Amino acid sequence: MTSRRRVLVVTNMYPTPQYPAFGTFVAEQVEALRRRGLEMDVLFINPRESKWNYARGPLWLRRRLASNSYDLIHAHYVFCGLIAATQRRLPVVLTHHGIEVLAGWTAPLSRLASRLAQATIVTSPAMAQRLPGKPVVIPCGIDLELFRPMPQEEARRALGLPKEPKLVLFAGEPRPEKRLELAQAGVEALRARWPGPVELVIAAGQPHARIPLYMNACDVLVLVSDYEGSPMVIKEAMACGLPIVSTDVGDVAQVMGDTPGCYICRQDVEDIAEKLTMALAFGRRTDGRRRVEHLSLDAVAERIHAVYEETLRRHG
């Protein structure tokens, strides 16, 4: 493979000082591709600064292309895919990450963006079934150096969490589809079943580097979303050996497989409470890390690099 390709990443998610956890998986992917010798530039279309930035995106893209030479554009998410498609000189690889493909008014736009791109990557097989052509399934990679097991007492001390209660972790932004209220109700029902104290810990808006502390401090992760693509918190929890209770969304069932201590639940309060009880009764860390080692950042970057090369070969 040619090692000095120059790629422009167009994304609407990327970490900032104000939002350090915003799009960390995109930033990690960019860094892993740089380690492979690719030159990676980033055009960040920041919707949290202003939704009008999407309208400004095509102009910003033209300016960037006028002053720099690239081999390929890698767009993340539907709107950036459409922005990338406003130019036709360079091939576009488009990655869809989740809910935008699966539900709502963005689903047809996602199909349009995929038709306009020269290659499409999705993070789960369920997403591939919703899109035209032959999307390549490549989940986002895990930073296995950052997400690793550590002593629970040490992690709780670092976060100032109490020693005694069982801790259920909700990790991520509490957007409507994440169903935080359902997780809270499940934990409330759990308290009626579990003989000791139980607390729900919500890790939202935290720097990405602190999330492993939460995963090692807590006893089980709960995820009860309506929709997901390939949720990073599941893979990261597996890497830390944290038991999991999750709805069957995205690729969760495939990632967890038959891992002891990990359970699929329904979006039903009593079923969530029952599965949380089982996870707490499991009483130890899982062997999940062994099961996700193939999803390291570098392994995933190798697969994405291969998509770049195949796209460039077909583009001529």
Question: Does residue 133 share a domain with residue 190?
Answer: no
What are 269-285's pLDDT values in tens digits? 999 999 999 999 999 99
Nearest to 241 by CA among 147, 142, 145, 149: 149
What residue has token string 């062997």? 287
**Rounded distance between C-alpha atoms, residue 57 and residue 124, angstroms:** 27
For the full predicted model, state whether its pTM sits above 0.85: yes
Sign, CA torsion 89/93/97/103: positive
Residues 6+ apart with CB under 8 A from 95: 74, 75, 76, 77, 120, 121, 122, 123, 138
Please give the structure tokens belonging to residue 178: 């994440």
Contact (CB, 8 A) for 196 and 239: no
Question: Does residue 157 share a domain with residue 137?
Answer: no
Residue 287: inside a domain: yes
* CATH code of residue 300: 3.40.50.2000
Task: Give the CA count within 13 Å in the CB-facing half-sphere of 155.
Answer: 20
C-alpha distance from residue 153 to each of 109, 149, 213 (Å): 47, 12, 10
* Number of residues that this document lists for the chain: 316
Q: The domain containing residue 211 runs over which residues?
A: 152-294
Question: How many domains does the structure of the chain reveal?
Answer: 2
Nearest to 243 by CA among 268, 229, 213, 223: 223
Residue 146: inside a domain: no
**Rounded distance between C-alpha atoms, residue 282 and residue 243, angstroms:** 8
Output the CA torsion 181→288→295→211 (10° steps): 50
Residue 202: inside a domain: yes
Nearest to 123 by CA among 92, 148, 99: 99
Residue 243: inside a domain: yes
Residue 290: inside a domain: yes
Residue 1: inside a domain: no
Question: Does residue 104 share a domain with residue 60?
Answer: yes
Question: Does residue 130 share a domain with residue 216?
Answer: no
pLDDT for position 1: 43
Residue 44: inside a domain: yes
pLDDT for position 104: 87
Supply the mean pLDDT for the chain: 95
Question: Does residue 126 share a domain with residue 83?
Answer: yes
Question: Does residue 135 share a domain with residue 168?
Answer: no
Question: Does residue 249 share a domain with residue 199?
Answer: yes
Please give the structure tokens belonging to residue 64: 């960037």
Residue 229: inside a domain: yes
Question: Does residue 47 share a domain with residue 37?
Answer: yes
Instruction: Spell out, as residue ranges, where the chain has pLDDT lower than 50.
Output: 1-2
Question: Does residue 103 share a domain with residue 188?
Answer: no
Question: Does residue 63 share a domain with residue 38?
Answer: yes
Please give the structure tokens belonging to residue 71: 């081999």
Question: Does residue 92 share a domain with residue 198?
Answer: no
**Rounded distance between C-alpha atoms, residue 173 and residue 158, angstroms:** 22
Nearest to 135 by CA among 147, 117, 148: 117
Task: Give the CA count within 13 Å in the CB-facing half-sphere of 289.
Answer: 15
Question: Does residue 133 share a domain with residue 30?
Answer: yes
